[in-house]
Amino acid sequence: MVSLCVNKLICGSSFYLLYLTSILLGFRGDYIHLERPMNNETLYAGDRAILRCRITGRPKPRYTWYKNDVRISVSDRRYKGFSIREYEWGSKLTIKKVETTDTGYYTCEADSRAGTLSTTGILYVRLGRYPGIENPILLPLSLIH
């Protein structure tokens, strides 16, 4: 029988057990990395919001989105118009037509056996560009007398 223990001080520790397990199960090289923090966005009601979570890793992380610390579930009718997609570079939350009630802190949490990282951005939604006017008609000043 071959002993894998070289240093008796390390062999009895949980560090040695964790190291040996990582070698046997192939965990070496696992990582999780924040490529870029999420941007803050200021939009007008009716605009499309796109929030990007640029966290990568090996193994590929699982992404969870939150608005003001409440988990976003696209099947919940409170989040009508929300969609979440995953890409090689991370995850993207899209809100088809934002409303002022969509203003808040949006957090993306990425989790894998390599660890957990999160990034947060603020979405601020203003009232329409032309309050009370859905589709304004803009005329040149030369036509106005």
Per-residue pLDDT of 81-95, as tens digits, reads: 999 999 999 999 999
SS3 at position 14: helix
Amino acid identity of residue 100, one-letter, is T
List, for residues 23-50, the tens digit of each pLDDT value: 445 556 999 999 999 999 999 999 999 9
CATH number at residue 112: 2.60.40.10
Is residue 24 one of the residues assigned to a domain? no
- Write out residues in the chain with pLDDT < 70, as ranges: 1-28, 130-145
Domain assignment present for residue 93? The answer is: yes
Residue 140 inside a domain? The answer is: no
Residue 21 counted as domain residue: no
Whether residue 23 is contained in a domain is answered as no
Is residue 118 a part of any domain in this protein?
A: yes
**Contact by Cβ (8 Å): 46, 129:** no
User: Whole domain around residue 126: which residue ranges?
Assistant: 29-130
What is the C-alpha separation between 69 and 27, in angstroms, rounded?
31
- How many domains are there within the chain? 1
Rounded Cα distance, 94 and 111, in Å: 20
DSSP 15-70: HHHHHHHHHHHT-TT-EEEEEEPPPPEEEETTPPEEEEEEEEEESPPEEEEEETTE
